[in-house]
Amino acid sequence: MALQSFIEVKPDSHFSIHNLPYGVFKPQPDSSPRPGVAIGDYVLDLSEIAKAGLFNGPILKDSDCFLQPNLNKLLALGKPAWKDARATLQRLLSSTEATLRDNANLRQKALVPMGKVEMILPIAIGDYTDFFSSMHHAKNCGTIFRGPQNPVPPNWFHLPIAYHGRASSIVISGTDIIRPRGQGPPSGNSPPPFGPSQKLDFELEMAAVVGPGNELGKPIDVNQAADHIFGVVLMNDWSARDIQAWEYVPLGPFLGKSFGTTISPWIVTLDALEPFACDAPKQDPQPLPYLAEKISKNYDISLEVQIKPAGQQDSCVVTRSNFKHLYWTLTQQLAHHTINGCNLRPGDLLGTGTISGPEPDSLGCLLELTWNGTKQLSLNGTTRKFLEDGDEVIFTGFCKGNGYCVGFGTCSGKILPSAP
C-alpha cells in the first residue's frame, strides 16, 4: 500500500508525506520560534511531538534538538538522527497510525494551519559560499563579458569555482529587497557613476545546508560528502550587475552581491530527494582523484521563475530550468570546499550558482535572458531588461512522483526603491 497521511494532502501539494521538509516558525507573533515540518496545508510543531515523548529512538529520545529556535542542533546530530526523525514522523502522520491521528488534544496543539504561521530563517548561518556550477550559465556569462572565443576559463572544468558570500544578509522568502547603491563602470574618461543599481537581477539557485562539519585541517572525502548535507533550499542570490561588473576584477563579487540573498523557508532533505536522483553530466576532463565520485548524481528538480511586474496582479513565467543541469554536484562542491582543510559547520550554506539549462527559456537570470540588457523581455504587456522597483520575483521547485510531489514551496522577494 502506498504511503498516505491521515491529513488530506492534495496531489499537487508540495508537502506530501513523502517530503516532510523542515522549517522554523512562530504559530503566533509573540510565540518563540520552534522547528516544524510541512504536511499538506499544515505545519507539524516538532516541539509538541518532542514534549509528548514521541521521538523515542536511541539518538533523539534524550535530545532537546526540537526545543531549539533553529535547526542547527539537529543538523549537528548527523544522518542517523535525521533518518530516525524522518521514520518517526512518517509513521506518526501515516493513515494507519493512531498515536497522533486519534489524539485530539495533541493534534490541536501540534498541527497548525500553514496560513497562520510566520516562517523565519530555519538555521543560524555562520558562513555562506556561492559556487559557479552550471556550464550553460558559465558559457553564457563568459560570452557576454569576454566574447565567444574562450568563454569559460580552463580552470572551470577542473574545479568547482566559488566565492565567500555574506551570511548576514541572507533573508527568508517574502522579505523585501532594497535596491542597492554603489559605483558602476565609467564611460570613457568620466569618473565612475554612483547611485542606485540600474541592472538589478535575480539568480535562480539552490543551496545545500551543511549538517555535521569537519575539523580544521581534515577534508571530507567526496564519497562521504552526502552524509554532511542535511538538505536543500531554493535560493535567489540577487545581483547588481553594474556594481558587480566594475568591482569584480581582481577579487570577485562583493557589494554587487552582499546586499541580499533570499532562501525558501523549507529545507527538503536528501532522503526525500533520493527517489528523484539522476546521473550527473559526464565531466570532461576527468576530475582529479579527490573529486572523482563512485556515483555522481544530481536530482530531477523542476525549477521555475516568475516575475510579477510592479502594479500588476498577475505574474509571468520567464524561466523553466532543472537542477539536473548542474555540472558540478553538491557533493563535489562540499568536498572541494574542504580539500584545503577549511572547516565547515552545521548550518553553513553552499549555493550552487545560477542554474541555467540549454534552452532559451531555461536561462537562470536576466543577464542571460536579455543578454546584458541588449534585448527586451516581454512580461504581460510590459517589458524588462532588468528589475524595476515594485517588481516581485517568485521561484518554485518540485519533483513529481507517482501521484504526489516533493516540493520546496516558494522563494519570493519584492524590490523596493533605493534608500535615500
pLDDT digit string (tens) for 315-339?
A: 999 999 999 999 999 999 999 999 9
What pLDDT shows up at residue 13?
97
Residue partners of 19: CB distance under 8 A and separation at least 6? 38, 268, 272, 405, 406, 407
Q: What percent of the chain has pLDDT over 90?
A: 97
With a cut of 70, say whether residue 164 has pLDDT above it. Answer: yes
Looking at this protein, which amino acid is placed at residue 333? Q
HSE toward the beta carbon, residue 418, CA cutoff 13 A: 14
| pLDDT reported for residue 229 | 98
What is the rounded distance in angstroms from the CA atom of residue 240 to the CA atom of residue 364?
Answer: 15
Q: Which three cell numbers stand for residue 382?
A: 510590459
Q: What is the pLDDT of residues 260-275, one digit of tens each?
A: 999 999 999 999 999 9
Helix (H) or strand (E) holding 138: helix 135-146
CA distances from 133 to 157, 220, 325, 401 (A): 10, 19, 9, 26
Quote the pLDDT of residue 138: 96
List Cβ neighbours of 354 (8 Å cut-off, separation of 6 or more).
134, 137, 203, 204, 205, 237, 364, 365, 368
pLDDT band at 168 (very low <50, low <70, confident <90, very high): very high
Residues sharing a CB contact under 8 Å with residue 374, sequence separation 6 or more, in sequence order: none
The span from the CA of 258 to the CA of 331, in Å, is 25
User: Taking residues 356-360, what's their average pLDDT?
Assistant: 96
The CATH topology of domain 22-120 is SH3 type barrels. (2.30.30)
pLDDT at 43 (0 to 100):
98
Longest dimension (CA), the chain: 76
**Residue 139 Cα distances to 151, 184, 378, angstroms:** 5, 23, 24
Q: What is the DSSP string of 64-113?
A: -GGGSSSSHHHHHH-HHHHHHHHHHHHHHHBTT-HHHHT-HHHHHHHEEE
Give 218-238 pLDDT, tens digit per residue: 999 999 999 999 999 999 999
The third-level CATH classification (topology) of the domain covering 128-416 is: Fumarylacetoacetate hydrolase; domain 2 (3.90.850)
For 62-116, write each residue's pLDDT tens digit: 999 999 999 999 999 999 999 999 999 999 999 999 999 999 999 999 999 999 9
Residue positions annotated with a catalytic role: 137
Check for a shared fold between 22-120 and 128-416: no
User: In the prediction, which pLDDT does 419 show?
Assistant: 80
State the average pLDDT over residues 150-160. Answer: 95
Phi and psi based region of residue 11 (left: phi greater than 0; alpha: psi -120 to 50; beta: remaining): alpha
In this predicted structure, what is the pLDDT of residue 420? 77
Task: Render pLDDT for 294-303 as a digit per residue (tens, 0 to 9).
Answer: 999 999 999 9
**In whole numbers, what is the pLDDT of the chain averaged over residues?**
97
Mean pLDDT calculated for residue range 33-49? 98
Helix (H, G, I), strand (E, B) or coil at 206: strand
> pLDDT-derived band of residue 157, with 50, 70 and 90 as boundaries?
very high
Give the contacts of 287 (CB within 8 A, at least 6 positions apart).
158, 332
pLDDT at 1: 54
Given a contact cutoff of 8 angstroms between Cβ atoms, the answer to whether 344 and 313 are in contact is no
Task: Label residue 2 by pLDDT band (50, 70, 90).
Answer: confident
Q: Evaluate if residue 293 carries a pLDDT over 90.
A: yes
Q: What is the pLDDT of residue 380?
A: 86
Integer Cα distance of 160 and 132 in angstroms? 7
- Residues 190-212 have a mean pLDDT of 98
Distance between CA 248 and CA 254 in Å, rounded? Answer: 7
pLDDT recorded at residue 326: 98
Residue-range domain boundaries for the chain? 22-120, 128-416
